[in-house]
Structure 1
Amino acid sequence: MDTLHGFGGQLLLGALVTLQLAAAALLLGTLLGAGICALQLSGRRALQALGNGYAAVVRGIPDLLIVFAVFFGGSLTLAALTGRYVEIDTFVAGVVALALSFGAYAAEIARGALQSVPRTQREAAGTLGMSRLQTLWTVVLPQAARLALAPFGNQSIVLLKQTSIVSIVGCDELMRKAAEASGATREPFTMYLATACIYLALTGLATLCLEWAERRAARPLAG
């Protein structure tokens, strides 16, 4: 007897969309976080204020509100520009909203890691004749990456679970598929329990990958 009443395939399709959402948002959010971090560490107060303000505002707003702002606000913006109503693709809206949120946390993680590298190491690299770019690439970034790996990985796992909020605007990710299956079968406990197991499998796999990366990063640098 099929416990999931034929909806197992639909849940797996939803899980695939969840992974696609998380991967796209992770990539876009990481790039955004790097840009925000650059603003925060720039020598100009106006740029620092812009970067710090973005991080503070986005981290202080619930992710669900960011999803609504991107989905409905994007439609209103396009309507104003084109003169007609344009509905935003739910997947695109989800990626953008999750990336905006993740970028704020990624920026803070990167900023903290970069500032944790002792200034004396930068000064020592300078005395060896290395340029600022060479110092950043060969001295600062390798150490900062090690320091940022664990919190960045943990935040990535949080991002994977946060994809569930995109179901509220109709994106066919795992949580949306679970809700549809629950309504069709009238067995919400079974469907959501199966969904929880899938999330556990996904986050468990992500945790194993993070642990492997941390072990690799813990190896002494060659040279």
Structure 2
Amino acid sequence: MAAPELEKPSQPISAVPVRHPGRWVAVVVLAVLAAMFVNTVLTNDGFRWDVVGRYLFSAPILNGLQNTLLLTVLSMAIGIVGGIGLAIMRLSPNPVLTSVAGLYIWVFRGTPLIAQLLFWNFLAALYPQLSLGVPFGPAFVVFDTNQLITQFAACLLGLGLNEAAYMAEIVRGGLLSVDEGQTEAAGALGMSRAQTLRRIVLPQAMRVIIPPTGNETISMLKSTSLVVVIGYFELLTSAQRIYSQNFQTIPLLIVVAIWYLALTSVLSVGQAFVERRYGRGATRMSTGGSRMFGMGAQR
């Protein structure tokens, strides 16, 4: 019987790392572009950084900023409340409620926001007076539309009602993301539809609702600049009034951009905090730049 051959000792593997010359080329190109950008920002006198610093915290700019924040908060409040109501109507077994909500969403999502702002601002041309009373009967209270629908009210109606259409779809998607077994289990425990929605469905749906709502809030902050078409005094309007007098257009636009960037950064941090708050109880795994949500214990 032949003697078994002795195994040869394994040789160490000489691994050659894969080279990625394209990455280094991209890094060099980006570095050159960044250097060119910094150079033009620092050397181009047209930016007028002294003018930017002078107006960054000026009273007109801060007043416009205050109005922008007020419009953002109130319009988002109207949009969220209206969106929740419309989403519930869309999911209702009543075909009338479903159709009305669908028609509302179709109209407000299908027309430009700037056109809606103009419509509410000039509502008096269509209805000089607005009244409350018996339908097709006597009116108990009559309002002058020009006095009732002020510029501020037109801004809130345009921004808030438009946002409600988008929030309705966001909320509806969040509610549909909750497993139907949760609703069935709540019904088996004797909970009403309202109790099930408030205590079971909404808390779980918030993980899906919060991220796009944060994006909508940031979008609303910037959309408030559209009220310039009806002359309401907000951040961009205040800058326009200033540069229409001193002709420093670019520096004033840079001031506006700085404030918008600062506010969106704050909102982004707040959004991340709220996402963590409602994301508790879900298994989160990060792979690269993406996030995957697994099945986790529910509260």
Whether TM-score is above 0.5 comes out as: yes
Letter in 2 for 1:141: L
* Matched position secondary structure for 2:162: helix
Residues 195 and 64 (structure 1 numbering): CA distance in 2 closer, same or farther, change over 3 Å? same
* Alignment match, 1:101: 162
Matched-pair contact (CA < 8 Å) for 2:90–2:101: yes
Matched-pair contact (CA < 8 Å) for 2:76–2:160: yes
Q: Aligned-residue CA RMSD in angstroms?
A: 2.2
Please tell me whether Structure 1 or Structure 2 has the larger radius of gyration of its CA atoms: 2
Which protein has greater RCO, CA pairs closer than 8 Å, 6+ apart? Answer: 1
Letter in 2 for 1:62: P
Matched-pair contact (CA < 8 Å) for 1:22–1:95: no
**Candidates 61, 68, 73, aligned match of 2:118:** 68
* Matched position secondary structure for 1:3: helix
Tell me the distance in 1 between the aligned counterparts of 2:143 and 2:152: 23
Matched, 1:59 2:120: no
* Higher alpha-carbon deviation: 212-221 or 12-21: 212-221
* Matched position secondary structure for 2:122: helix
Deviation for aligned residue 1:143: 0.6
Tell me the distance in 2 between the aligned counterparts of 1:2 and 1:194: 11
- CA deviation vs aligned residue, 1:152-185 (integer Å, no higher than 9, x gap): 1111111111000001111110010011011111
Matched, 1:188 2:249: yes
Letter in 2 for 1:79: P
Q: What are the ranges of 5 or more consecutive residues in structure 2 without an aligned counterpart?
A: 1-48, 131-141, 282-296
Tell me the distance in 1 between the aligned counterparts of 2:191 and 2:82: 28
Matched, 1:111 2:161: no
* Matched position secondary structure for 2:70: helix
* Matched position secondary structure for 2:146: coil
Matched-pair contact (CA < 8 Å) for 2:225–2:235: yes
Tell me the distance in 2 between the aligned counterparts of 1:168 and 1:142: 39
Tell me the distance in 2 between the aligned counterparts of 1:165 and 1:52: 26
Tell me the distance in 1 between the aligned counterparts of 2:50 and 2:145: 43
Q: What are the ranges of 5 or more consecutive residues in structure 1 without an aligned counterpart?
A: none
Tell me the distance in 2 between the aligned counterparts of 1:204 and 1:93: 28
TM-score of the aligned structures, taking structure 2 as reference length: 0.69
TM-score of the aligned structures, taking structure 1 as reference length: 0.91
- CA deviation vs aligned residue, 1:17-58 (integer Å, no higher than 9, x gap): 000001111111211112211221111112111101111111
Letter in 2 for 1:161: K
Letter in 2 for 1:70: W
* Alignment match, 1:3: 51
Deviation for aligned residue 1:134: 3.0
Tell me the distance in 1 between the aligned counterparts of 2:219 and 2:120: 20
* Alignment match, 1:132: 193
Tell me the distance in 1 between the aligned counterparts of 2:184 and 2:86: 25
Equivalent residue runs for 1:202-213 within 5 Å: 202-213=263-274
Matched-pair contact (CA < 8 Å) for 2:55–2:255: no
- CA deviation vs aligned residue, 1:95-144 (integer Å, no higher than 9, x gap): 11100110000111111111111111211223344343332222111011
Tell me the distance in 1 between the aligned counterparts of 2:77 and 2:217: 10
Letter in 1 for 2:209: A
Letter in 1 for 2:74: A
Tell me the distance in 2 between the aligned counterparts of 1:134 and 1:32: 19
Letter in 1 for 2:89: L
Tell me the distance in 1 between the aligned counterparts of 2:55 and 2:267: 27
* Alignment match, 1:142: 203
**Candidates 223, 234, 240, aligned match of 1:162:** 223
Deviation for aligned residue 1:76: 2.5
Tell me the distance in 2 between the aligned counterparts of 1:33 and 1:146: 17
Residues 182 and 134 (structure 1 numbering): CA distance in 2 closer, same or farther, change over 3 Å? same
Deviation for aligned residue 1:192: 0.5
**Candidates 80, 85, 106, aligned match of 1:30:** 80
Letter in 1 for 2:210: L
Letter in 2 for 1:174: L
